[in-house]
Amino acid sequence: MARGTSLQNLVTMVREEAGHSTNAALGQNTVEGLKQKIARQQEILWTDHEWQHLRVEREIVLQAGERYYNFPADLSMNHRIDQVSVYFEDQWRPVEHEITLAHYNSVNPETDRRDPVLCWELYEGEQVEFWPVPETGGARVLMRGTRNLKPLIADSDTADLDDQLIVLFVAAELLAKQKSDDARAKLSMAQRLFEKLKANNSKNRRFKMGGCVDRNPDNRPRPLYGKKL
């Protein structure tokens, strides 16, 4: 089992697992279809689990008076952000997900500027909004989450997930279409491997997205900037 296997090698592995000929000339008409199935299966597996080895950190530097920023290009925006924090006054502080009307009423983003930022929200699918709008520039916001998969299109492109996991699921699909008696056994192998890899990759803690609440050391909610939300 390995990650980083090329798409070309994955095609060969699928053929072998499904009992198909590995002769390039004989199977040329099926290559593109196999590539699509392999890429699609990796996408499904990526969606179904938060893979630890794909977690990354990306930094955004805040600018004075700037409300919207480009979302890190290789981070997934599909609610797979583990943690957002801002470095302010020599320490990292949590930046909570979700900006509500109550926040806008508390500190108007059109007119008021405050430090540090306390909340974030996706804006029109491609940008991220921070609230309140920074009064000064230079603060660093660190976003931690699951990165997007690298392209798996060209022969030399490599898989981000385990090669055997991808191959077994694709082979099981092919065998099922052929109504082969081996299809169920192959699918069972794929599912067992998936459960094993998920257990090995499970995080010790999970991030729960919620509203923005500034908390004191006793963990009791208190109003932000002295105003009741």
Q: Which of 80-84, 97-101, 124-128, 221-225 has the highest mean pLDDT?
A: 97-101
What does the pLDDT read at residue 220? Answer: 35
**Amino acid (one-letter) located at 83:** Q
Residue 1 within a domain: no
Rounded average pLDDT over 91-101: 95
Q: Give me the number of domains the chain comprises.
A: 2
pLDDT, greater one: 78 or 13: 13
Give the residue numbers spanning the domain of 171: 7-51+153-201
Confirm if 82 and 145 have CB atoms less than 8 A apart: yes
49-53, 193-197, 206-210: segment of lowest average pLDDT: 206-210
Same domain, 73 and 142: yes
Query: Of 53, 79, 44, nearest to 191 (Cα)?
Result: 44
Query: Of 145, 124, 122, 119, nearest to 134 (Cα)?
Result: 119
What does the pLDDT read at residue 203? Answer: 52
- Tokens standing for residue 70: 């480009």
Q: Parallel, antiparallel, or unpaired: how do β-strands 96-97 and 119-123 relate?
A: parallel
Same domain, 124 and 98: yes
23-27, 89-93, 106-110, 163-167: segment of lowest average pLDDT: 23-27
Residue 135 within a domain: yes
Same domain, 31 and 106: no
How does residue 201 score in pLDDT terms, banded at 50, 70 and 90?
confident
Query: Of 132, 129, 127, nearest to 109 (Cα)?
Result: 132
> What share of the chain has pLDDT > 70, as a percent?
83
pLDDT, greater one: 204 or 63: 63
What does the pLDDT read at residue 229? Answer: 40
What does the pLDDT read at residue 92? Answer: 96
Same domain, 140 and 60: yes
pLDDT of 215 higher than 50: no
Rounded average pLDDT over 88-112: 95
Same domain, 13 and 57: no
Residue 2 within a domain: no
pTM over 0.85: no
What does the pLDDT read at residue 67? Answer: 97
* Segment 17-49, tens digit of pLDDT: 998 866 665 566 689 999 999 999 999 999 999
What does the pLDDT read at residue 77? Answer: 76
* Segment 122-180, tens digit of pLDDT: 998 789 999 999 999 999 999 999 999 999 999 999 999 999 999 999 999 999 999 99
Same domain, 30 and 101: no
pLDDT, greater one: 124 or 210: 124
Same domain, 192 and 174: yes
Rounded average pLDDT over 195-203: 85
The span from the CA of 150 to the CA of 22, in Å, is: 26
Same domain, 123 and 134: yes
Residue 229 within a domain: no
Residue 173 within a domain: yes
